[in-house]
Structure 1
């Protein structure tokens, strides 16, 4: 029986982990790429009779991750799969401070993980599967901050804005092919993750919008990782997925 292939980055915690947990199904094969394996996820996959592979890879080395993915996909070939999907979820924020105070190494790390690696993984996935006839999808997890500027968040905003725009380009490329992939860069809403903890804990003098994030938490306006994952996967399953290359799960 052919199975549905899912490749997911940043699956060891937060919304990425919740997405991975909700993808556990006997008809799925799940490949997770993250710096650390999650033992609870492995145990859940065993109980759900899901084929799970957890690749240990720091996505600041996007070239290495994409080369490994491209080789693996080529070795697998199209025969085992009913569909193939890449979900670029991994991301990071550099220290929360004005750009004038930012360290080059921190900016480079954030851009490598949040922009360079997703682009390289998309290239590897689309290149290796281009001749495959089954449905293929790419879901890039973006952010509202890719569309709206915020002080002391230049690195993160730039990475997500870049993700949105290269997804637009990728959609144009794929639309010209007979069996092009459906692609979308999706903002998942405001989620109560480690990133939110960082934003709420930032020094007020360095982060003028800190009070907004404190208010979101106090007023219960944050989605849980599980709630956000459910909305994201529901969006991925829509028959019109990819109609708009940049979207928001809330619209």
Structure 2
């Protein structure tokens, strides 16, 4: 049996790490891309005899990464895998402050990592697999903050909103292809990650919504990374995946 390929960014911690761990199943092959390799992930893959490749790359240079991915996929060829899935999970939260106080370099990094790199990586993935006849999927990990505004979060909200809309456009592109990829920008709910720690640690002067995020933690309303990963991967495996280009795991109608 040919393996199912999963290309996953931001796989060294948080939701990305949890997804990578749960994808460590017989019949899968993983290419994980993060700023730092994860030794535990490598150990798990070795013990389970699951093919795992880890690339260390900062997504602020998405152009170089897209070239590397394109070359790597071309070397694999269309007969290597039973399916190919790209999961754009990596993102970053810039300094939590009103836009007027934000540093231009911080804003640039947030947009390049959160929006520009996913577009570049997706373009490379689809360019090489254009003539592959195997099932293709693209999953962009979005956020509820891409669909509603929040003070002191302009860059993060804008990156996620852009991710949603580029996914809508991508879905239209792929619908025209005979073997087009099924795509979705999926919000995973409120997940207990390092981002939540940063939001709870911000001052109320800089971040008016800080008490709300503190309350989410104290009242046990955050979803663990493992549970969020389970929900996201279950959505990815649904037979109707891609029927909605923008979705949320918390929506009871989905």
TM over 0.5: yes
SS of residue in 1 equivalent to 2:240: coil
Query: Does the Cα contact within 8 Å between 1:25 and 1:49 map onto a contact in 2?
Result: no
Give structure 1 regions of 4+ aligned residues with deviation exceeding 4 angstroms.
none
**Residue in structure 2 matched with residue 89 of structure 1 by the alignment:** 89
Distance 1:50 1:25 in 2: 7
1:16-27 aligned within 5 A: 16-27=16-27
Query: Does the Cα contact within 8 Å between 1:190 and 1:222 map onto a contact in 2?
Result: yes
Distance 1:234 1:111 in 2: 28
**Residue in structure 2 matched with residue 179 of structure 1 by the alignment:** 179
SS of residue in 2 equivalent to 1:81: coil
**Normalization by structure 2: what TM-score?**
0.98
**Residue in structure 2 matched with residue 158 of structure 1 by the alignment:** 158
1:81-120 Cα shifts (integer Å, max 9, x gaps): 1000000000001000000000000000000100000000
Distance 1:9 1:200 in 2: 25
- Cα-Cα RMSD: 0.5
Distance 1:102 1:192 in 2: 25
Alignment partner of 1:222 is 2:222: yes
Distance 2:167 2:130 in 1: 17
SS of residue in 2 equivalent to 1:221: coil
**Residue in structure 1 matched with residue 58 of structure 2 by the alignment:** 58
Unaligned runs of at least 5 residues, structure 2:
none
Count of aligned pairs between the two proteins: 251
1:20-75 Cα shifts (integer Å, max 9, x gaps): 00000221110001000000000000111100000010000000111100111111
1:132-168 Cα shifts (integer Å, max 9, x gaps): 0010000000000000000000000000000000000
Alignment partner of 1:38 is 2:38: yes
**Residue in structure 1 matched with residue 67 of structure 2 by the alignment:** 67
Query: Does the Cα contact within 8 Å between 1:92 and 1:113 map onto a contact in 2?
Result: yes
Alignment partner of 1:104 is 2:104: yes
1:188-223 Cα shifts (integer Å, max 9, x gaps): 000000000000000110100001100000110000
Unaligned runs of at least 5 residues, structure 1:
none
Query: Does the Cα contact within 8 Å between 1:192 and 1:224 map onto a contact in 2?
Result: yes
SS of residue in 1 equivalent to 2:53: strand
Distance 1:248 1:64 in 2: 31
SS of residue in 2 equivalent to 1:61: helix
**Normalization by structure 1: what TM-score?**
0.99
Distance 1:26 1:118 in 2: 27
**Residue in structure 1 matched with residue 7 of structure 2 by the alignment:** 7
